[in-house]
């Protein structure tokens, strides 16, 4: 049971109502996370805008979803792990690639570098070493892509914390967390 109200899209008012209609258009349903965040039109607009902006970014949907599952597993966020595993599969990643990403791994050296960096940011609360940024450059990321990775980390931290703190009910097929 969620610790906050899950806004009913049919009775939502104002800015939240309009945003929930957009979200429904994108997913065909309104996932519970968005319904919880809809309690604050400003937070919903921020989150939905960030998803949209990063969806137009240079990293691509698959790498974005791989970053999301790595962070979700690290933060023990069942909701985001389930949602982003499903979205990663939709973006063309295999089940094995998503399971590897959950552990912060990839057979692709460029993706592996991005995952290592994203988890270092989470684990070290942003206090990464210069060598960790240099490793991204060596893997082929320019400064714009490096900042975009950081934006994915920030968005996923927000969504993880929303879902964990408010105990948002899962509405995607569950995915088992790795043994920590």
User: Could you give the number of structural domains in the chain?
Assistant: 2
> Mind listing the pLDDT tens digit for each residue in 65-95?
999 999 999 999 999 999 999 999 999 999 9
Residue 80 belongs to a domain: yes
The values of phi and psi at residue 104, to 5°, are 80, 25
**Tens digit of each residue's pLDDT (9 = 90 or more) over 35-71:** 999 999 999 999 999 999 999 999 999 999 999 999 9
Residue 1 inside a domain? The answer is no
pLDDT band at 173 (very low <50, low <70, confident <90, very high): confident
What's the pLDDT score for residue 179?
67
Structure confidence at residue 115 (pLDDT): 98
Domain identity same for 51 and 66: no
Are 92 and 142 found together in one domain?
Answer: yes
Residues 124 and 150: beta-carbon distance below 8 Å: no
pLDDT of 117 over the 70 cut: yes
Q: Are 9 and 20 in contact, with CB atoms under 8 Å apart?
A: yes
Over residues 164-178, mean pLDDT: 94
Structural domain span for residue 29: 14-55
Tell me the DSSP string of 33-98: HHHHHTTSHHHHHHHHHHHHHHHTSSS-HHHHHHHHHHHHHHTT-HHHHHHHHHHHHHTT--HHHH
Residues 29, 76 share a domain: no
- Residue 6 located in a structural domain: no
Backbone angles phi, psi at 89, to 5 degrees: -65, -40
């Amino acid at each position: 049971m969620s610790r906050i109200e899950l806004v009913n899209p049919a009775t939502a008012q104002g800015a939240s109502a309009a945003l929930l209609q957009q979200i429904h258009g994108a997913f065909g349903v309104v996932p519970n996370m968005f319904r919880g965040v809809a309690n604050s039109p400003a937070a919903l607009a921020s989150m939905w805008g960030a998803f949209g902006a990063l969806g137009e970014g240079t990293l691509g949907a698959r790498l974005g979803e791989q970053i999301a599952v790595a962070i979700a597993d690290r933060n023990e966020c069942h909701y985001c792990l389930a949602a982003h595993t499903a979205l990663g599969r939709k973006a063309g990643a295999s089940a094995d690639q998503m399971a590897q990403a959950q552990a912060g791994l990839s057979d692709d050296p460029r993706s592996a570098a991005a995952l290592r960096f994203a988890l270092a940011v989470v684990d070290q609360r942003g206090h990464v070493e210069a060598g960790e940024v240099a490793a991204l450059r060596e893997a082929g990321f320019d400064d714009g892509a490096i900042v975009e990775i950081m934006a994915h980390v920030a968005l996923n931290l927000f969504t993880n914390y929303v879902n964990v703190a408010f105990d948002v009910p899962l509405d995607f097929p569950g995915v088992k967390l790795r043994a920590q």
